[in-house]
């Protein structure tokens, strides 16, 4: 079975098909990676008699306190994986015992891109050689906070009129964000590219990466930016402080604060030595704590705790 056409989180027909696939495969352990997968996977596991269920939680909003969520976060899950301390705290807050939670941050590849491959993207934007480029990459949704970045752009342009900004991605707020940019008269200073697949090249093209989210489970795009040795300005929210200590691996600002965002961006644009030092320290942090190998080993260590897998792993 390669996929299911799901009709919702409580699609019992799909849960039954999952249970059948688990029985046929002889599976003894199940690892689930999203809210809908958690519901359907738990149902399927219960129908097939599997007790060793692991759930990874990646988002930092608080689950509703109702009966179905009490079941989803109850004892049928042998272990919960939290990708940040903020998510670990949320799980504890909804009643998951600390002994059933393991902190395993997401990991990223350290050498995704090639230095210099961003030149074509800069040419596409019509940038001069030394013209600063500040960018954000992500889904255009309220919790990603791009509206606060749009509001910060004119504040940065007062001191750096040659600066150019780019927001990469698409989503439900795209029309609203573009309308606000037009109302602020940003013109060619801010470019919305829509969805792009050449993320490594875009990161290479940037002088500063910015994450303006007010909810963020961890912030793997921040890890990608640091892995690419880019200085980062991000908000102090969710799991981001697990990655960045303010002034060490990047600059942190309060969420929903365009003035603070603009001030931090201007600080990096005016201090190239600081920007380079933060980028190098950020790369070191990712290499040490947020590599793919580190993530894999963390999950394997968790699996070894469960009955029936220790000897095989």
- What's residue 108's pLDDT? 96
- What's residue 50's pLDDT? 94
- What's residue 310's pLDDT? 63
pLDDT (tens digit, 0 to 9) for every residue of the chain, 313 residues total?
567 766 777 788 889 999 999 999 999 999 999 888 899 999 999 999 999 999 999 998 888 877 788 889 999 999 999 999 999 999 999 999 999 999 999 999 988 878 889 999 999 999 998 999 999 999 999 999 999 999 999 999 999 999 999 999 999 999 999 999 999 999 999 999 999 999 999 999 999 999 999 999 999 999 999 999 999 999 999 999 999 999 999 999 999 999 999 999 999 999 999 999 999 999 999 999 999 999 999 999 999 999 887 656 6
Core vs surface per residue 252-262: b (16+ CB within 10 A) or e: bbebbbbebbb
- What's residue 66's pLDDT? 77
- Residue whose tokens read 């399927």: 44
- What's residue 113's pLDDT? 79
pTM across the whole model: 0.93
Joined together, the tokens standing for residue 28 give 């003894």
- Residue whose tokens read 């993530």: 295
Judged by DSSP in three states, 307 sits in coil
For 15-66, the DSSP string reads HHHHHHHHHHHT--EEEE-SHHHHHHHHHHHHHHT--EEEEEE---SPPP-S
Contacts 24+ apart (CB under 8 A), 273-276: 274/231, 275/207, 275/208, 275/231, 276/231
């Amino acid at each position: 079975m390669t996929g299911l056409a799901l009709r919702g989180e409580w699609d019992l027909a799909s849960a039954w098909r999952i249970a059948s696939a688990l029985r046929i495969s002889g599976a003894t352990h199940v690892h689930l990676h999203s809210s809908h997968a958690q519901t359907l996977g738990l149902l399927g596991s219960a129908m097939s008699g599997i007790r060793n269920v692991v759930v990874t939680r990646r988002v930092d909003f608080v689950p509703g306190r109702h009966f179905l969520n009490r079941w989803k976060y109850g004892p049928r899950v042998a272990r919960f994986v939290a990708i940040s301390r903020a998510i670990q705290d949320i799980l504890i807050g909804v009643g998951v015992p600390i002994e059933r939670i393991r902190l395993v941050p997401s990991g990223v590849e350290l050498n995704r891109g090639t230095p210099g491959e961003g030149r074509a993207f800069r040419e596409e934007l019509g940038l001069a050689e030394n013209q600063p480029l500040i960018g954000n990459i992500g889904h255009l949704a309220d919790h990603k906070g791009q509206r606060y970045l749009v509001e910060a752009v004119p504040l940065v342009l007062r001191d750096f009129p040659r600066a150019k900004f780019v927001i990469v991605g698409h989503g439900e707020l795209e029309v609203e964000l573009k309308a606000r940019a037009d109302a602020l008269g940003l013109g060619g200073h801010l470019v919305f590219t829509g969805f792009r697949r050449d993320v490594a090249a875009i990161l290479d093209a940037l002088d500063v990466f910015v994450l303006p989210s007010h909810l963020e489970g961890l912030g793997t795009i921040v890890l990608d930016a640091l892995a690419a040795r880019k200085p980062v300005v991000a908000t102090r929210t969710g799991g981001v402080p697990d990655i960045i200590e303010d002034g060490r691996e990047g600059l942190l600002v309060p969420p929903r604060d365009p003035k603070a965002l603009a001030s931090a961006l201007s600080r990096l644009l005016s201090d190239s030595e600081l920007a380079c030092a933060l980028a190098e320290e950020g790369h070191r942090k990712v290499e040490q704590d947020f590599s793919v190998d580190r993530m894999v080993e963390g999950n394997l260590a968790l699996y070894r705790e469960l009955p029936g897998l220790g000897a095989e792993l």
